[in-house]
Amino acid sequence: MPLWTEIGIPSAGRVTIVLSGELEQQTADQFRTTVRTALQLEPTVLAVDLALITFMDSSGLGAIVAAKRWCDDAGCSLDLEALTPAMHQRFQVSGLADLFGLPEPPA
């Protein structure tokens, strides 16, 4: 499945990227391009909505880490939103949950 991306209209310094499909080796560059485009809007918060991501591999995780680094360099925060339980677990298992300030999943 391809990756579909949409950059929302900026509101109060916040820009949201909505993703749908698979964030993996073949689509990671598309996500990176979307993040760079969104950062041109100079947000204070860049939110990435992951609710509709059906699959993410290590390339997808790497692209999200790159997005965090770019946001840090641009002086904005990166918020990961609407993670499914499986997606949350992927961040926990990879050791990246703390980097993104993700809370412990509910028991």
Domain at 76, CATH number: 3.30.750.24
pLDDT at 75: 95
pLDDT at 95: 85
Three state DSSP letters for the chain: CCEEEEECCCECCEEEEEEEEEECCCCHHHHHHHHHHHHCCCCCEEEEEEEEEEEECHHHHHHHHHHHHHHHHHCCEEEEECCCHHHHHHHHHHCCCCCCCCCCCCC
* Segments in the chain below pLDDT 70: 1, 105-107
Residue 40: which domain range? Answer: 3-94
pLDDT at 96: 87
> Cβ(3)–Cβ(31) under 8 Å?
yes
**Domain membership flag for residue 103:** no
- How many domains does the chain divide into? 1
**Domain membership flag for residue 106:** no
pLDDT in tens, 22-41: 999 999 999 999 999 999 99
pTM of the model: 0.90
